[in-house]
Amino acid sequence: MKKRYIFLALVPIVLSVLLALLPDKSNSIDAKRLAKNLKSAKYTGVSPDKLLLESVNDDRFMQPDELATVIMGQDPSYMLIDLRDAGQFGKFTLPGAINIPSDQILTDENRATFESDAYKYVLISNGTVLSDQVWMILRRAGYDNLKVLNGGLNQFYQLYLNPPKPGELDPSEAFENYRFRKAVGAHLGLPNPDEFIPGGSAAVASPTTTTNKAQTVTKTPTKTVVPKKAASGGDEGC
């Protein structure tokens, strides 16, 4: 009889000892963050096969035009992070970007930057490869809400410095895109593409197209008002 009680008492004790001796392979990010050794951690956030799947689809990419709308609209939910060194950052960057050089992304201070859930973080470098590598390291460290600027600053500035001109037969969206990109270029302080491109024809024609764009923008809200008045006028008349 007593043996049975002893056995029953021993089982939980042995189990708890086993639990204490289990190797630490936890994926608990918070535990790793609290332990200061995040940088020397091997088992963290996301497993390799999951990360591969994430890296294969393009969800992490932010296209230049998307980023341009964020910059023009001064969207506060995005934080632009320039990963180049301080020298390059000082010369030029994107409006509102902060500088975290790629080799300092996991210092205590900078880690605190990535903790907030309020922001989407856009990683920016000259190309895509470095920001993508940093994206992967940050994902492995367990951080979320990360975006990568597709094509980097090289393509970003090129696109707005010299936006591809739509042909005559292109759909109207192509023209709208072109005007939008020129407006972004002007916002970034880049020279007007029509004046800048060698052999670019009517430099005079370009301001009129920009004003046309402004017209269409202002028109649309007023237009919506017009039918109402006309309708009410029609009612009165009848």
Partner 1 sequence: MSDNNTVNHMIELTKTNRITIGVVVVLVILLLGFIFMKPAKYAFNTTLDKEIKDLKVTEYQMSPQALAQAILKKDAALVLVDVRSPFEFAKGHLPEAKNIYKINLFSDDQIDFFKDLKKGNKTAVLYGASADEANMPFMILKQMGIDNVKYLNVGYEHMKSGNWAEIAANSLKFNDETPIVDFAQFISDAQKQNQPTSNTTQEVSKPVGDKPKTVVKPKTPAAGGGDEGC
**Interacting span for partner 1 (CB under 8 A) from 3-11, 62-70, 72-80, 173-181:** 3-11
Reported residue count of the chain is 238
Q: CA 134, 136, 137, 143: dihedral to nearest 10 degrees?
A: 100
> Taking CB under 8 A as the rule, does residue 209 contact partner 1?
no
Q: Residues 24, 74, 91, 167: which binds partner 1 (CB under 8 A)?
A: 91
State in angstroms the smallest separation of the CB of 96 from partner 1: 16
Please list every residue from 165 through 204 that binds partner 1, using CB under 8 A: 188-191
Coil vs helix vs strand at 152: helix
Residue whose structure tokens are 């202002």? 218
Question: Hey, what are 197's tokens?
Answer: 């491109």
In whole angstroms, give the CA distance from residue 167 to residue 21. Answer: 70
Total residues contacting partner 1 (rule CB under 8 A)? 71
When binding is defined by CB under 8 A, the residue of 70, 71, 114, 125 that contacts partner 1 is 125
Enumerate the β-bridge partners of residue 79: 121
Give yes or no for residue 224 binding partner 1 (CB under 8 A): no
**Token reading at 54:** 């994430």
Is 106 near partner 1 (CB under 8 A)? yes
Of 63-71, 72-80, 153-161, 169-177, the segment contacting partner 1 by CB under 8 A is 153-161
Contact 139, 41 (CB under 8 A): no
Among 103, 170, 173, 176, binds partner 1 (CB under 8 A): 103
